[in-house]
Amino acid sequence: MGAGNLPHQGPALYSVSWLDTAAAWLLALLWILPLVYAVWTAFHPAEFSTRFDLAAPWTLENFRHAWQAAPFARYFLNTTLLVGMILAAQLVLSTLAAYAFARYEFRGKNVAFALVLVQLMIMPDILLVENYQTMAKLGLVDSLLAIGLPYFASAFAIFLLRQTFLGIPKELDEAARVEGASALQTLWRVYVPLAKPVYTAFALVSVSFHWNNFLWPLIITNSVESRPLTVGLQVFSSVEQGVEWSTITAATLMTSAPLLLAFLLFQRQFVQSFMRAGIK
Amino acid sequence: MHRKTFIQTLAVAGAVATIGMSGQALAQAQVEVPFYYPVAVGGAIAKTIDGFAADFMKAHPGIKVTPIYAGTYQETIVKALTAHKSGKPPATSVLLSTDMFTLIDEDAIAPIDQFVKTADDQAWLKSFYPAFMANSQTGGKTWGVPFQRSTVVMYYNKDLFKQAGLDPNRAPQTWKELSEAAQKLTRKDASGKVTQYGIQIPSTGFGYWMLQTLTTPNGVLLANDTGTKVTLDNPKVIEALDYWVNLARSGVHPSGVVEWGTTPKDFIEQKAAIIVTTTGNLTNLKANAKFDFGVGQIAGNVRKGSPTGGGNFYIFKKSTPAQQQAAFEFIKWVTQPERAAQWSMDTGYVAVSPAAYDTPVLKKYGQDFPQALVARDQLPVSVAEFSTHDNQRVTKLLNDAVQAALNGSKTSAQALKDAQREADRLLRSYQ
Amino acid sequence: MAAGSNIAPRAAVSQHALHAWLLLLPALALLVAFTHWPALATLIDSFFSTPRGSRPGHWVGLENYQAMVEDPVFWQAVRNNLWFAGATIPLSMGLALAMALWVNERMHGRAFLRMAYFTPTVLPMIAVANIWLFFYTPQYGLLEQITGAFGLPSHNWLGDPATALACITLVAIWKEAGFFMIFYLAALQTLNPSLKEAAAIEGASRWYYFRRVQWPLLMPTTLFVLVNAVVNAFRLVDHVFILTRGGPDNATSLLLYHLYEVGFKFWDAGYAAAITVVLVVVLASVALLQFFVLDKRVHYK
């Protein structure tokens, strides 16, 4: 058996059985099947969307067709702006709030924290009827701001950051104070840098959530100017005249490409930042 | 030299400013007409709409028409009402003709009559096929203007008909003929699995509409024309639904609930020899079917007949008077015979006025491709589409009943009785 | 804290508290505006009738709730959602754990496995639902082609109330498992490697190692993933829009989808509020349970 200083994944310990490998691979192939189908159908003409003839010709026509059929460029822009705006707001607001919870004592602190935790379970999506009316009163219906506003305060982020801030030793705090830093400056110089892995992990979760968010944006947007990709895709693929898979999969690939590529390139960092964030 | 350049520069600047300002003034004087439309995947159709908007704007420089593509009919009505409730509706939208009562109840639309002032306008309003006006008028007023209207037709695969020994130029005319043809057209493979169904009638999305293609030939109407009463548990309705259920039981029709969206594809893939669906699919099938196909009127029983379908233009009340007037101009323009003819050719919908069929282009199209005329020829025997107050809800009841009967969880009689009871409860406050 | 401050202690505390509240204000204000206030407003709305056109709503007490209780579609949605939750929560968590364990090992093509498992997360549900529609399409869909190759009978997966919900559930599990895997993977990789060595030296079996060492240490992650899984069980309805639209005959109607239909297709605001209240109560109860467990965990740290 193993002895002495073994590397992190000592190969002599618990070698992987062939059964495990087979099962893992089978599951992986099953899991990736939809994507494979999407790639097949998007790059082949419509007749081959249901027929898997390996000799079929390749074509980019579907992409061209999809790109022209709906203003995907605009949808991309909207989604990028939306996701960026939400993330920025979430980071700022939750940092401030988490700092308050972690480093201040005040009456009503527990009540306030309980209120925050409520949002972990009761997401704005559930309350869409009422939130829609709020937006109508504010005159914000059909704007990117309306899509993002209910999500700016993220209970998840506050929770994570509070956890992290609590773990930062108070000596660092006092050291900064001795140098004459105000509370906010301490926050910026000491706490924020130390919480970077948490920020990264949270950013990844937030981006992928809001990139994919559908129901609330569906309700609150009407026009192309504020429509994000998900709503645009649904409008695009809802067909009175029948489903056309080659065009839909082309559109799907186009709209998922950024996230997919980002993940493929940054897989490692992604997992590592989760590790260091200590989301356990 | 300096003074000359200076004055010249001033002059140019002045000219530019004036042009700029007048352009600005023009832009400010432009009335915005956003309009939601529910048509499918782009390509020809979105291009046609955009083309219409562009041509209209050339002819009417003070109006800016913005077509906004909103998804299916169901999604478009949601978007339109959402916009209306938040105070900023589109100036106009193409919505299902059956949404009329709902829109009136929500106080969302303005009657078309208030815009009809000149004799020309009146002639225009009278120029549409009467069958299409059935779902567009109530209480003595006109609320919608027909635009993309349809009837239901049977598409049949001529090659498969020949193979089965049937006359490829004659669609089944009666229920009896239909059942027999379907038997001959159903093919099974060696293991007994069906590879080709004789007939396929979809039951998601518009189950109630498909049911009407069976109840109308059976001589019964499902709703009254004020939308306050429905007749679902009538024995003739039950009989019609049973006919459908039995088609599935006898194996010539797929069992269970059949998806609307994949039915045209099923036809193209030759998995179904006859499909029953909207004439709006015609252009799509023409482009994609690799075989010869025919279009037939709905098979009759005690009479022939089909429900009408499709969308009307509505004008929204909460938009400004200028917008409403501009929208009216656009609606008038786009339903003129030439445009109606082009729209019909691009989509397969029925052109909304007899005059459209007299235009040279559509005449020739009809001669080259007679299948396009079948839906129109059905108009004399067509009835209104099922429509009531609280339409979405009542329609859902009927859809659910159809689905329950088709997947066997309820008998036709039970399903329709339950639907009748619920519908009566919902419509009570409107009577 | 404020060393060397010459403000009176009481004033210092209240200035302190003021700072804290100021820091909290933006986040708390938004939370109240879009979570707490709407929840309350919905509760109030549920006691009023639906405004129609120009007629405002009026007080009807528990009438909306009564209509809800008598509505078979509502109960169908509740049943469906319970089945849906009952299947997605354990299955997606279990699969996520298995995936994480596999990817954590030295296996051939680890990077490919990780990518394959995580890909569903980056694809918007709306987009993939159409692909799954093809998989489930009878007669020439992918499942059909596979079962046909094995000589199994044809089946209308989405059109049969007996199988439609299972199909929806499968799509949801497929979407979620990879996302949860990341949490488990991160947790596994922070486990002390010497634990594994110790277990190996003592001759413990792999299963024993998992059951007695890894699993207890993964408890915090499991709890965290559980919270997410429960929320998602009520949130994930996007695919219903494309695959079945709640059919056939309400066999795949989930609570949030039913809420959307009632609120935005039927425009029945009063009834929609009642359904929302039910959803909120269900989630809040789970939240309370979790809070007490999470609370202990926080104290652990």
The domain locations on chain B are: 10-150+309-381, 152-307+387-430
- Which chain A residue is nearest to residue B83, measuring alpha carbons? A222
Q: Does A128 touch chain B (CB under 8 A)?
A: no
| pLDDT at residue A153 is higher than 90 | yes
For residues B422 and C73, give the distance between their C-alpha atoms in angstroms, rounded to a whole number: 12
Q: What is the mean pLDDT of residues B22-50?
A: 69
Task: Kindly report which listed range (B278-282, B297-301, C272-276) carries the lowest average pLDDT score.
Answer: B278-282
| Tens-place pLDDT, residues B186-226 | 999 888 888 999 999 999 889 999 999 999 999 999 999 89
Confidence of residue A124 (pLDDT cuts 50, 70, 90): confident
Q: How far apart are CA B146 and CA B353, in angstroms?
A: 9
Containing B147, the helix (H) or strand (E) segment is strand B145-157
Higher pLDDT, B43 or B368: B368
What chain B residue is nearest to A66 in terms of C-alpha separation?
B42
* Partners of residue C252 in chain B, C-beta under 8 Å: none
Q: What is the pLDDT of residue A8?
A: 45
Which pLDDT score, from 0 to 100, does residue B6 have? 57
Q: Is residue A49 part of a domain?
A: no
pLDDT per residue as tens digits for the range B100-148: 999 999 999 999 999 999 999 999 999 999 999 999 999 999 999 999 9
Phi, psi of B106 (to 5 degrees): -80, 5
The Cα–Cα gap between C225 and C217 comes to 14
pLDDT in tens, C80-97: 999 999 999 999 999 999
| Percent of chain A whose pLDDT exceeds 70 | 91
- What share of chain C has pLDDT > 70, as a percent? 92
Structure tokens given for B339: 């445009």
Q: What is the pLDDT of residue A49?
A: 79
- The reported pLDDT for the residue numbered A279 is 53
CA angle A62/A63/A65 to nearest 5° reads 65
Please name which of B230, B238, B317, B310 lies closest in space to residue B277, comparing C-alpha atoms: B310
User: Which residue do the tokens 């140019």 mark?
Assistant: B12
Position C199 scores a pLDDT of 79
A230 inside domain:
yes
Establish whether domains B10-150+309-381 and B152-307+387-430 are of one fold.
Answer: yes
**Chain C residues lying within 8 Å of A120, measured CB to CB:** 227, 231, 287
The residues, any chain, with a CB within 8 Å of residue C301's CB and separated by 6 or more, are A163, A166, A167
In this model, does residue B295 exceed pLDDT 80? yes
Flag whether residue A244 sits within 8 Å of chain B, measured between CB atoms: yes
Interface of C with B in 42-71 (CB under 8 A): 52-54
Residue A1 lies in a domain: no
Residue C296 pLDDT class (50, 70, 90 cuts): low
Which of B195, B271, B392 has the CB atom closest to C266's CB atom? B392
Token pair listed for A205: 């979760």
Provide the pLDDT for residue C145.
85
The percentage of chain C sitting over the pLDDT mark of 90, rounded to a whole number, equals 36
Q: Is residue A68 part of a domain?
A: no
Q: Which structural domain, as residue segments, surrounds residue A108?
A: 73-277
Total Cβ atoms within 10 A of residue B115? 18
pLDDT at C1: 43
pTM of the model: 0.86
Say what the pLDDT of residue B12 is: 56
The per-residue DSSP string of B343-360 comes to HHHHH-PBPSSHHHHHSH
pLDDT of residue C227: 82
Find chain A residues with C-beta within 8 A of B42's C-beta: 65, 68-70, 236
* Domain at A90, CATH number: 1.10.3720.10
d(CA C266, CA C261) in angstroms, rounded, equals 6
What CA–CA distances, in Å, run from C54 to B2, B227, C50, C51? 69, 20, 11, 7
Secondary structure (DSSP) of B191-220: TS-EEEEEEE---SS-HHHHHHHHHTTTT-
Q: Is a pLDDT exceeding 80 seen at residue B162?
A: yes
Rounded distance between C-alpha atoms, residue A136 and residue A129, angstroms: 11
- C-facing residues of A in 73-102 (CB < 8 A) are 92-94, 96-97, 99-101
Fold observed for domain B152-307+387-430: D-Maltodextrin-Binding Protein; domain 2 (3.40.190)
User: Which residue, among A212, A243, A246, has the nearest Cα to A229 in the 3D structure?
Assistant: A212
Q: How far apart are the CA of C266 and the nearest CA of chain B, in angstroms?
A: 6
The CA distance from B428 to the nearest CA of chain C, in Å, is 15
Closest CA to B256 of C247, C72, A239, C78: C247
Distance between A131 CA and the closest CA of chain C, angstroms:
6
Note whether residue A62 is domain-resident.
Answer: no
- ipTM greater than cut 0.90: no
DSSP B243-271: HHHHHHHTTSS-SS---TTTHHHHHHTTS
Q: How confident is the model at residue A46 (pLDDT cuts 50, 70, 90)?
A: confident
> Which of residues C191 and A270 earns the better pLDDT score?
C191
Is the CB of C26 less than 8 angstroms away from the CB of A93?
yes
Q: At the topology level of CATH, where does B10-150+309-381 sit?
A: D-Maltodextrin-Binding Protein; domain 2 (3.40.190)
**Structural domains of chain C ordered from first start:** 71-300 (1.10.3720.10)
